[in-house]
Amino acid sequence: MKLRTSTNLIKATIATIGTFDGVHKGHKALINHMIDLAKQFDQIPVVIVFEEKPKNFFLSKKIKSLCSISEREKLLNSLGIENIISLKFDKNIQKLSSDEFISELVKKIGIKTFILGNDSKIGHNQAGYEELKDNYPDINFIKFLPKKYNNKIISSTLVKQAIEKGNCEETNELLGRFYTINGKIIKGNNLGEKLGFPTANIIPSQKVVIPKDGIYASIVEYNNKKYYGATSIGKRPTFEKNGQRIIETFILNFNKNIYDEKINIHFISKIRDEEKFNSKEELIDRMKEDIKKIQIRLDKKKYYE
């Protein structure tokens, strides 16, 4: 088992393990609890993160993620975690028993406290909390009970369901921040410019969860500055029968050529579903209405702070 960490560990550790996809509010509660215990026990907090969901190792159709491993590491850093071990689930990991896995953690990071999620299982024998605490009296195993939102357990799956419904408000409540997609701007067919609304277009990664097709109020982050955006997700049904799914954003009060540069799109609120219009003129009139609604909606709160 290869453990990749950038920090030397000079004393006993308290650790937790998971994919931490999205680093949502449930994850944040666990991390905050671990940091508090680390101070209490005088131990170094360590987070072991699977680069992909272990389930993906067994699936031909992979489960989509909320953010990349590098984005998860940045989010964990922002919560005060300096020691992150990135772990790739492969056939070598798959073969490990819980005994072998725990022994590796004892040997390589000096683990003394291990915080487990409510349904965490370790090793090919799927050892849970009760079995682990009985088998390892020298390690303090702690079960962390999941956090809930509207009587539902906060999970990456719950976040994905909200995103795929286009429910930005629920998504943002579960994450504790706006859902964000980033990408490099590609050169399209200039359709938006011909309509009077030049757009920054990105083709979404096949690995990332994309919100439901429609029009969204967004905040666009480019070159460390933020701008209001009108973001369209869909296949341009007014002009194309079987178009490629694309994310197009009209950036308000912006006039720069930024092809091949990267932007972050923060999804604030869904305005409407994608529609097929009878004419170009009808679409333009609707786009003008959309932008007015987006301006009003974004002006209600200070999203630049």
Model pLDDT for residues 135-180, shown as the tens digit of each residue:
999 999 999 999 999 999 999 999 999 999 999 999 999 999 999 9
- 149 and 213 in a single domain? The answer is no
Tell how strand 152-153 and strand 246-251 pair up. unpaired
The predicted model gives 199-207 an average pLDDT of: 86
- 149 and 194 in a single domain? The answer is no
- 19 and 62 in a single domain? The answer is yes
With respect to residue 183, please indicate whether it lies within any of the assigned structural domains: yes
Residue 290 contacts residue 252 (beta carbons within 8 Å): no
- Determine the pLDDT at residue 176: 95
With respect to residue 167, please indicate whether it lies within any of the assigned structural domains: no
pLDDT above 90: percentage of residues in the chain = 74
Range of the domain at 227: 178-299
- 189 and 149 in a single domain? The answer is no
Tokens of 273: 């579903």
Provide the mean pLDDT of the chain: 91
- 99 and 229 in a single domain? The answer is no
- Determine the pLDDT at residue 2: 56
10, pLDDT greater than 80:
no
Residue 271 contacts residue 207 (beta carbons within 8 Å): no
With respect to residue 162, please indicate whether it lies within any of the assigned structural domains: no
Tell how strand 83-87 and strand 13-18 pair up. unpaired
Residue 247 contacts residue 259 (beta carbons within 8 Å): no
- 55 and 123 in a single domain? The answer is yes
Side chain identity at residue 246, one-letter code: I
- 138 and 196 in a single domain? The answer is no
With respect to residue 304, please indicate whether it lies within any of the assigned structural domains: no
The residue from 153, 188, 218 where one domain ends is: 153
242, pLDDT greater than 90:
no
Q: Which residues contact 233 (CB under 8 A, 6 or more apart)?
A: 210, 211, 212, 213, 214, 216, 245, 246, 247, 248, 274
- 140 and 189 in a single domain? The answer is no
Reported pTM: 0.91
- Determine the pLDDT at residue 305: 45
With respect to residue 305, please indicate whether it lies within any of the assigned structural domains: no
For residues 68 and 176, what is the distance between their CA atoms, to the nearest angstrom?
Answer: 18
CATH at 218: 2.40.30.30
CATH at 128: 3.40.50.620
- 188 and 145 in a single domain? The answer is no
SS (H, E, C) 141-172: EEEECCCEECCEECCHHHHHHHHHCCCHHHHH
Number of folded domains that form the chain = 2
- Determine the pLDDT at residue 205: 80
Range in 4-18, 42-56, 63-77 with the lowest mean pLDDT: 4-18
The residue from 85, 119, 153 where one domain ends is: 153
- 139 and 23 in a single domain? The answer is yes
Tokens of 261: 């540069």
The residue from 153, 170, 204 where one domain ends is: 153
With respect to residue 111, please indicate whether it lies within any of the assigned structural domains: yes
